[in-house]
């Protein structure tokens, strides 16, 4: 009997070619409601910058939008982070989140 390796997810920013994140599916990179919540240790870039545009989800609570900046440009509002997260959803606490089907992102299982 062999143990299977957990699936790994790689997220690449297409315009810059940079790998945004890579890690195991599950607690490392959590798919939820069509989005991917990335644990900080699996982020491969420091290019996300808080733009201080707030948002509110009725059940996940308060978040701020993040811009992704690289040498040749910026993808505005590419991600977000919950700064006052719902305590019942620990997999969103202080993680960078990105939409799974954003045109600037390529998500692949590796």
Strands (E), the chain: 8-13, 18-24, 29-32, 35-38, 48-57, 61-70, 73-85, 96-99, 105-109
pLDDT digits (tens, 9 = 90+) for 50-69: 999 999 999 999 999 999 99
CB 22 within 8 A of CB 76: no
**Is the confidence at residue 101, as pLDDT, over 60?**
yes
The sign one gets for the Cα dihedral 37, 40, 45, 48 is positive
| Domains, in order of start, for the chain | 8-109 (2.170.150.40)
Q: How far is the C-alpha of 8 from the C-alpha of 16, rounded, in Å?
A: 21
pLDDT digits (tens, 9 = 90+) for 65-98: 999 999 999 999 999 999 999 999 999 999 999 9
Q: How far is the C-alpha of 21 from the C-alpha of 10, rounded, in Å?
A: 6
- pTM (two decimals): 0.92
């Amino acid at each position: 009997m062999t143990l299977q390796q957990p699936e790994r997810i790689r997220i690449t920013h297409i315009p810059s070619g940079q790998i945004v994140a890579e890690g195991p599916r599950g607690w490392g990179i959590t798919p939820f409601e069509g989005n991917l919540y990335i644990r900080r240790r699996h982020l491969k870039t420091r290019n996300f910058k808080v733009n201080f545009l707030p948002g509110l989800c009725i059940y996940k609570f308060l978040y701020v939008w993040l811009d992704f900046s690289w040498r040749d440009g910026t993808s505005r509002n590419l991600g977000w982070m919950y700064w006052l997260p719902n305590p019942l959803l620990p997999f969103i606490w202080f993680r960078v989140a990105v939409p799974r089907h954003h045109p600037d992102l390529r998500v692949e299982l590796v």
